[in-house]
Amino acid sequence: MLPKTVLGVDISGERIELALLKETREGVKLLKSASEPVPEGAISQGNVKDPVLLAKAIKALRSRCKIGPRRTVVSLFAQPVFAQIMELPENLPANIGQYVQKEVKHCAVLPRKNISLDYCGVSSSPKSTGKRVFVVAVENERMFALLRALNDAGLNVEAIEPAELACARAIYGKKIVNSFDFNVLIALIENSEVILSVFRNQTLDFVRTRDIGEDICQSEQGLERFAEEIGAIIQYYDMEIGDRVQSWRLITVLRQDGQRADGIGDFLRGKFKSSEVEVVSSANISENTPVVTCASPRDSSRRAMESDTSRASVVAAGLAMRLLDVPQPKVKINLLPPESAEVKAVKQHVLITANIIAVILAVMILTVGVLSAALNKKSETIAQLKEDQSQLDTRALLFEQKRVNEQAEGLREKLEKLNGILRSGQVGDWNLILDDIRQATPRSLWITSLTTPPLRGAGQSKVLIKGRSVSYEAVRLFVDMLGKSEYIASADLVGAEKDPAPAAGAGAGGLISYSIDCSLAPLGVPKRATFEGT
């Protein structure tokens, strides 16, 4: 089996982290890692504000590190997020998905109620009477902005999951496996926010997110409050759960570099003397995860701007490991819309169609050349006959000339038809036009047909695009992106309406059928705009 090479992309409030991993016989090898600050104005209050600006930053970082298209997993970046373990009733309803969605919509964390969610089963606790599920939900509007940025960045995204799951996956093989004699508490910290997860008997058992109001790594007061959160969870398990396991392993994971790992470790050891305390960062990732890194370079000043193989973001590495054959928790959450697989198939079909059109046009051009050569040959024959007409019988000459004229006229008609076909379309631009349409297609929308209506007289070429979409926002985005294409003069939404009955996998609202009429720019007179420049 060929080795797998996968990419993890961690987007947080301040940085973009990349980790390119390769699964080999010797283990998981770190090929490249890179980090760059989020550009100013791209993110605001925990959400993507400018998807185009964020996409440009991701593309630039990949280009600088020479990371091509790879299977990719991205961290969920949106606020607010509902992430909790939910108790299910003893008498489970027939449709668990509808029950979970209904319960989440009652939560005040997501006031707009228009949400995307995913859930998976987790083991029951000693206090619970029924089954439990881990649920993650986010508002569609917040998710749509992130999806647009990932789409514009050209990432081959297969999953979007919470950072705490990626963090647990990264350290699972070395820190959680076979932890039957103690509970494992993982604290993922970034500035003043901490996500606390508890693994009991190797299984996710508790999740909590807290913003303590003070920078945990820079403020003594923030560090005190962080320790109080850990102490409250340990006390909860001792008093409420009544767990026979009394020992704890406390693992603090630093999401960003430049944070005082040694100071945090010493502080927690002083607070929790009977517990194992460990601090994990990008600098010691090879000690705490299966990732094999190279020797540390002497010049560490380049690590923020160039690819590095001596260190990597723990979350970015954990994201990539989702697609590798490594020990990992039995918890799978994916907020990527399920329609994305169908969109990929449609895009591949468009590329194949473009290649077929190119071959057909090449054959047509070759046919025109053959017909032109045949006409020239017939003309030479006529000239030769005229030259020898004094030696031929007049009646035979006239008969031969009539036959040749008929053949020439037939060939001219065929040539005129082919020239008309060539004049009706932009022969040289179809590959580029289809590629622009491919780049403009959002991940939550797909194309079912692409036709070119026959022209009546002179005028611009037309392309009629029909398809299905998850939301009206995706259709409007598609129309807007088509209108910015270098090869499309204008794009108009002809129609968009919901299906009369909900489609399978589309939720309660059903899918949206749309039609878009595109006028192509005249051949040789392209618009002076590109997607990347918008």
Claim to verify: residue 415 and residue 435 sit in the same structural domain? no
Cβ pair 331, 205 in contact under 8 A: no
Cis, peptide link before residue 93, omega less than 30° from 0: no
Claim to verify: residue 349 and residue 317 sit in the same structural domain? no
Residue 156 vs residue 524, higher pLDDT: 156
Number of domains in the chain: 3
Confidence class for position 43, pLDDT limits 50, 70, 90: very high
Please check the confidence at residue 279 and state whether its pLDDT lies above 70.
Answer: yes
Query: What's residue 303's pLDDT?
Result: 45
Among 470, 467, 400, residue whose Cα is nearest residue 438: 467
Phi and psi based region of residue 213 (left: phi greater than 0; alpha: psi -120 to 50; beta: remaining): left
Residue 531 lies in a domain: no
Q: What is the DSSP letter of 444?
A: T
Claim to verify: residue 284 and residue 393 sit in the same structural domain? no
Query: Strand pairing partners for 292?
Result: 29
Pairing of strands 15-24, 27-37: antiparallel
Cβ pair 464, 451 in contact under 8 A: yes
Among 271, 207, 410, 440, residue whose Cα is nearest residue 346: 440
Rounded to the nearest 10 degrees, the angle between the axes of helix 140-152 and helix 472-483 is 30
Confidence class for position 112, pLDDT limits 50, 70, 90: low
Average confidence (pLDDT) over 141-156: 90
Q: How many CB atoms lie under 10 A from the CB of residue 201?
A: 12
Q: What is the DSSP letter of 240?
A: I
Please check the confidence at residue 352 and state whether its pLDDT lies above 50.
Answer: yes
Residue 302 lies in a domain: no
Considering 423, 438, 455, which residue would you say is the last residue of a domain?
A: 423
Residue 533 lies in a domain: no
What does the block give as tokens for 228? 């109080």
pLDDT 10s digits, 473-509: 889 998 998 888 888 888 998 898 888 765 444 444 5
What is the signed CA dihedral for 135, 140, 154, 353, rounded to 10 degrees? 110
Amino acid identity of residue 354, one-letter, is A
Confidence class for position 26, pLDDT limits 50, 70, 90: confident
Cβ pair 39, 124 in contact under 8 A: no
Claim to verify: residue 321 and residue 467 sit in the same structural domain? no
CATH classification at residue 482: 3.30.70.60
Claim to verify: residue 331 and residue 352 sit in the same structural domain? no
Residue 534 lies in a domain: no
Residues contacting residue 182 through CB under 8 Å, at least 6 positions apart: 245, 247, 248, 249, 276
Q: How many CB atoms lie under 10 A from the CB of residue 3?
A: 10
CATH classification at residue 218: 3.30.420.380
58-62, 345-349, 411-415, 525-529: range with lowest mean pLDDT: 345-349
3-state secondary structure 54-90: HHHHHHHHHHHHCCCCCEEEEECCCCCEEEEEEECCC
CA angle (260, 263, 265) in 5-degree steps? 105
Q: How many CB atoms lie under 10 A from the CB of residue 97?
A: 12
In Å, what is the CA distance from 376 to each residue of 1, 366, 413, 414?
58, 16, 15, 15
Query: What's residue 128's pLDDT?
Result: 60
3-state secondary structure 95-125: CHHHHHHHHHHCCCCCCCCCEEEEEEEECCC
Which domain range does residue 405 map to? Answer: 345-423
Claim to verify: residue 34 and residue 80 sit in the same structural domain? yes
Radius of gyration from C-alpha coordinates of the chain = 32
Cβ pair 173, 290 in contact under 8 A: yes
Q: What is the chain's percent helix, strand, coil content, to nearest 5?
A: 40, 25, 35
What does the block give as tokens for 486? 């270098």
Distance (Å, rounded) from C-alpha 233 to C-alpha 215? 20
pTM here is 0.65
Residue 242 lies in a domain: yes
Residue 482 lies in a domain: yes
Cβ pair 91, 28 in contact under 8 A: no
